[in-house]
Amino acid sequence: MGMISSLKSGLQNDSIKWTSIDNIHITLAFLGDTHESLINDIRIMLAEKCGSYGKFSLTLKGCGLFRNFSDPRIIWTGIDLSDKLIQVNASIMNGLKALNIKMEDRPYNPHLTLGRIKHINDKDLLKSLIDRFQNTELQTVLISEVILYESILLQSGPIYQPLAKFTLE
């Protein structure tokens, strides 16, 4: 049984909103509430920045929690550090700063959100599952595009509406 299947099976009696396959993504920059007048400038900047990197591969590996075992909120899988991903992120962040878009000033921590925890009955079981898969390689994926999404928050969970796609050439 794979890592994600084991997590879902082991934690089936807990209140966790598992991320739909259609919504799994790596966030390069979270823009928050962005005025519509800036969207076209962001599109132009992304087209310029994404044109020179080329496709590259990433290895999804391990799992962990955001917050901590006392107050777990997010189950994620990590990404083996990739120079190319760090370069793309830095380039886009610089482009956003040049557009005077305020961004959080914290180190980039690429990951895929697997599930959002509402309530855990057995934190020891959660810890044992996270420990078990901490270094498990999930898969290697080809990164070929950057997508500008609008995030629409609904009670049932977020919907990510693509606004524009930029091929990594």
Give residue-wise pLDDT tens across range 34-53.
888 899 999 999 999 998 88
Q: Rounded CA gap, 155 and 34, in Å?
A: 21
Q: What is the CATH superfamily name and number for domain 3-167? A: Cyclic phosphodiesterase (3.90.1140.10)
Give residue-wise pLDDT tens across range 111-125.
999 999 999 999 999
pLDDT of 34 reads 87
Instruction: Enumerate the domain spans of the chain.
Output: 3-167
Q: What is the pTM of this model?
A: 0.87
Say whether pLDDT at 157 is over 80: no
What pLDDT band is residue 1 in, cutting at 50, 70 and 90? low
Give residue-wise pLDDT tens across range 48-103.
999 888 999 999 999 999 998 999 999 999 999 899 999 999 999 999 999 999 88
